[in-house]
Amino acid sequence: MTQVLLKNNLKKLSTDNITVSVVIPTHKPDMKYFLRCFNSVKNQTFGFNNIEVIIVVHNTNEQFFNEIKDLVKDYDNVKLLKLDNNKRSASSPRNYGMKFVTNKYVTFLDDDDALKENFIVDSLNYIKNHNVQFVSYARKNIRDDHNIVSIKYNELETRINKEIIYNINKNAKIIPFEQAVFVTGKMFDFDFIKKHHIEFNEDIPVFEDFLFVSQVLKHSKFVCVQPHILGYYYHLNEDSIVNNLNRTDADVLNCVNGILNVIETIKSSPYLSKIGLRELIAYIGVTMFSSVNISYLTRCKVRDLMQKYIKLLWSDDDNSMYAKNRSKLNYKIMETEITCPAFAFVKSKILKLLRINPMLLVSFFTKTFD
């Protein structure tokens, strides 16, 4: 494993105003996305010079590293790191970047996403005024053509026009799944994270965000959710959709085992609602539904792995305030995809023969929720 910290980044920052660190892992050699990401930090109303930016270039070519090096060479508040290892997810560079955080507050930004211009100012106001362990904001999707697509989460969030302060000991079970699963779009109390030795699990391929936030919630007293305030732009990568269609049997089994790892870790935790577990299982159903090349044998393996968990799809949420963000029909489709491998296998072959993109069907079934 190669770890490099540029020597000119070792000097101490001259300003005492820096209280926030932004950790950006990057591994995609496409500067147009990275520039959008980096500029969203530069354009923060908080003032770019007041922000410690930690960029971790992970497992990528030297040309991309040098392009970023040239981009940030004149900024004393930017730490540029290089990390080469055999890890594939963002967990490894995020953990590495956290080792260089020197401030009380930290946020994570993916290399093709962007922050709204007042994200840091608003975050600091809420996290200080309410003494919370993190503050979380609404997100919007942005496509390659820069068209922004709104995300509708659930009735609880859309009918409330002010922040929600959650007392973890009293009402943690109503924390929306979407606010728990993403590590981005949040500002964290980094002293709190260090105190409880919280880091990303580098051994699971999916939902490492969820495990990280789950650990924060486990130790928290209060968190603040801002369902009505946009803070983060999430890039919808069209290449990812193509990759989803072409998943191999090994890809699917790796994904399923990773999600089961997460479920086993959090299933008995009192600080997350059952809907989170249902959503994780439903994600497996979506993965199976959208993967057209999966063999019948692999589908049977997934069914066997999921037998003892599938009932969670239909478990009733014990808090009436929480409005489910998927219909029973949607859950039923995902359940069928997992529990009926023969039907699912034939369906996938028909869709492939007719050249119908299953992701379009997924979008149809969830269009009232996204």
- Is residue 262 within 8 Å of residue 207, measured between CB atoms? yes
At residue 312, φ and ψ (nearest 5 deg) are -65, -20
Task: Check residue 39 and give its pLDDT.
Answer: 95
Q: Could you give the 3-state DSSP secondary structure of residue 187?
A: strand
Q: How many CA atoms lie within 13 A of 181 on its CB side?
A: 19
Kind of pairing, strands 2-5 and 78-84?
antiparallel
pLDDT score recorded for residue 58: 92
Amino acid 169: pLDDT: 59
DSSP per-residue letters across 254-269: HHHHHHHHHHHHHTT-
Give percent helix, percent strand, percent coil of the chain, each to the nearest 5.
45, 20, 35
Angstrom distance (rounded) from CA 62 to CA 48: 27
CB of 100 closer than 8 Å to CB of 81: yes
**Residue whose tokens read 């600080």:** 271
Per-residue confidence (pLDDT) for residue 217, from 0 to 100: 84
Helix, strand, or coil here: 87?
coil
Q: Which two tokens stand for residue 19?
A: 């209280």
Q: What local confidence, expressed as pLDDT, does residue 162 receive?
A: 55
The CA distances from residue 359 to 116, 242, 243, 331, 345, in Å, are 29, 10, 12, 16, 16
CATH fold, domain 2-236, is Spore Coat Polysaccharide Biosynthesis Protein SpsA; Chain A (3.90.550)
**Residue 286: per-residue pLDDT:** 82
Predicted pLDDT at 142 = 76
From first to last of its 370 residues, what are the pLDDT tens digits of the chain?
Answer: 444 444 334 333 334 566 899 999 998 767 888 999 999 999 999 999 999 999 999 998 888 899 999 999 999 999 999 999 888 888 999 999 999 999 999 999 999 899 999 999 999 988 888 889 999 988 887 766 554 444 444 433 433 445 667 666 555 555 666 677 789 999 999 999 999 999 999 988 788 888 898 888 888 888 888 877 889 998 876 555 444 667 889 988 988 988 888 888 777 666 555 667 777 887 888 888 888 889 999 999 999 999 888 876 655 444 433 344 455 666 677 788 899 999 999 988 998 888 887 767 766 655 544 3
308 neighbors 208 (Cβ within 8 angstroms)? no
| pTM of the predicted model as reported, rounded to 2 decimal places | 0.81
Give the C-alpha distances (Å, rounded to integers) separating 343 from 1, 337, 339.
Answer: 45, 8, 9
CATH 3.90.550.10 in the chain is located at 2-236
Burial 283-311 (b: 16+ CB within 10 A, else e): bbbbbbbbbbebeeebbebbbebbeebbe
**Distance between CA atoms of 15 and 77, rounded to whole angstroms?**
9
Whether the CB-CB separation of 186 and 212 falls below 8 Å is answered with: no
- How is residue 7 annotated by DSSP? G
The per-residue pLDDT for 315 is 55
